[in-house]
């Protein structure tokens, strides 16, 4: 398969950084990233809501995309505690991640709610990073692909071909994420990504082939290259191992250098 012309890197800082720490992190990272060929990467950092405004100010002239970890589907109204896509845009947000397995598991987010959020974000021209995930039980029972395709198709119901340029898919096995998680085997990741790729082609035809599919879950400097070199992996979503700006930078640099050296590693 032809490679996409960018490598996709994302980090979601979850609820793990206070505002000051997050600001320092974003400042260091955006400084380091200037030395990378920025036209060859799409990089987004997703701080908590409380740090979005100052991070947005900091990233005004940067290639780093300010991302949000969630959004509500309504435009405005009596929805205590929620934040709309328009409100995020005011802060300079360019991307929202939807459907992270922690949101599905801890906050009971359903495919139907995620679908509404997808539409709200797309209506505001935000990039949608749609996260899909299989559970340990799915994996043990060889149902991972069924689960992933169900989540994917439900979340993308009603999305038009004309909107697919704004879509990114993030595959994160629930059992691979976070403390105690273990990254999935590269061949297994590739198999799941292939299934997702085919479903995207089924939904959107040729346009579906251009939708980036990114892997996340215990990615580190040790496994990043093996995972990224898989044919259907277009980028990496990194949590803990990206929260040190220098470490994240060196992973990105390694992937880009590897790409260059291997000319075409896929
Ligand atoms: P991790 O987190 O890299 O710390 O496993 C991944 C994620 O949840 O995006």
* Protein residue with its CA nearest to atom 1 in ligand 1: 239
The pTM score is 0.96
Query: How sure is the predictor about 261, in pLDDT bands with cuts at 50, 70 and 90?
Result: low
Ligand 1 atom with least separation from CA of 240: 4
pLDDT tens figures, 9-57: 999 999 999 999 999 999 999 999 999 999 999 999 999 999 999 999 9
Residues 160 and 179: their CA atoms lie apart, in Å, by 37
**pLDDT attached to residue 221:** 96
**Who lines ligand 1 at CB under 6 A?**
12, 172, 177-178, 181, 216-219, 237-241
Q: State how far the Cα of 9 lies from the Cα of 134, in Å rounded to an integer.
A: 21
Q: Which of 108-117, 137-146, 151-160, 255-264 has the lowest mean pLDDT?
A: 255-264
- Give the atom of ligand 1 at the shortest distance from the alpha carbon of 177: 5
Distance 203 CA to ligand 1 centre (A): 28
CA distance linking residue 126 with residue 23, whole number of Å? 22
Counts for the chain of helices (H) and strands (E), in that order: 10, 8
Q: Nearest CA to 67 among 83, 91, 84, 86?
A: 91
CA of 177 to the centre of ligand 1 (A): 5
| Statement: residue 265 has pLDDT above 50 | no
pLDDT at 258 (0 to 100): 87
Q: pLDDT digits over 78-87, tens only?
A: 999 999 999 9
Q: How far apart are CA 189 and CA 126, in angstroms?
A: 27
Q: Is the dihedral of CA 233, 237, 240, 246 positive or negative?
A: positive
Q: Crossing angle, helix 19-33 and helix 245-261, to 10 degrees?
A: 30
- Rounded to the nearest angstrom, the distance between the alpha carbon of 99 and the centre of ligand 1 is 14
Please tell me the residue having the least CA distance from ligand 1 atom 7.
239
Q: Which helix (H) or strand (E) holds 204?
A: helix 186-204
Q: What is the pLDDT of residue 259?
A: 67
pLDDT average, residue stretch 235-241: 97
For residue 50, how far is its CA from the centre of ligand 1 (angstroms)? 20
| 166 touches 126 (CB < 8 A) | yes
Q: Which atom of ligand 1 is nearest to the CA of 12?
A: 9
Structure tokens at 73: 């589907």
Q: In angstroms, how far is CA 124 from the centroid of its own chain?
A: 18
């Amino acid at each position: 398969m032809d490679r996409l012309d960018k490598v996709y890197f994302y980090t979601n800082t979850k609820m793990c950084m206070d505002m000051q720490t997050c600001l320092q992190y974003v400042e260091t990272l955006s400084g380091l990233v200037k030395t990378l060929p920025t036209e060859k990467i799409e990089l987004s950092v997703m701080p908590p809501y409380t740090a979005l405004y100052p991070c947005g100010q900091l990233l005004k002239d940067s290639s780093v995309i300010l991302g949000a970890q969630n959004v509500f589907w309504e435009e405005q109204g009596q929805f205590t505690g929620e934040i709309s896509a328009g409100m995020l845009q005011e802060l300079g947000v360019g991307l929202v991640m939807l459907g992270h397995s922690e949101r599905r598991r801890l906050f009971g987010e359903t495919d139907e709610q995620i679908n509404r959020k997808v539409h709200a974000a797309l209506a505001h021209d935000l990039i949608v990073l749609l996260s899909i995930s299989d559970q340990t039980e799915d994996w043990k029972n060889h149902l991972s692909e069924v689960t992933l395709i169900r989540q994917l198709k439900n979340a993308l119901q009603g999305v038009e071909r004309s909107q697919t340029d704004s879509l990114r898919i993030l595959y994160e096995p629930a059992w691979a994420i976070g403390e105690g998680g273990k990254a999935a085997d590269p061949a297994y990741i590739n198999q799941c990504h292939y299934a997702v790729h085919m479903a995207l082609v089924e939904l959107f035809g040729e346009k579906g082939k251009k939708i980036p599919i990114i892997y996340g879950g215990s990615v580190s400097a040790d496994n990043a290259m093996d995972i990224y070199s898989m044919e259907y992996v277009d980028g990496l979503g990194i949590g803990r191992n990206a929260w040190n700006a220098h470490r994240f930078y060196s992973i990105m640099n390694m992937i880009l250098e590897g790409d260059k050296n291997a000319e075409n590693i896929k």
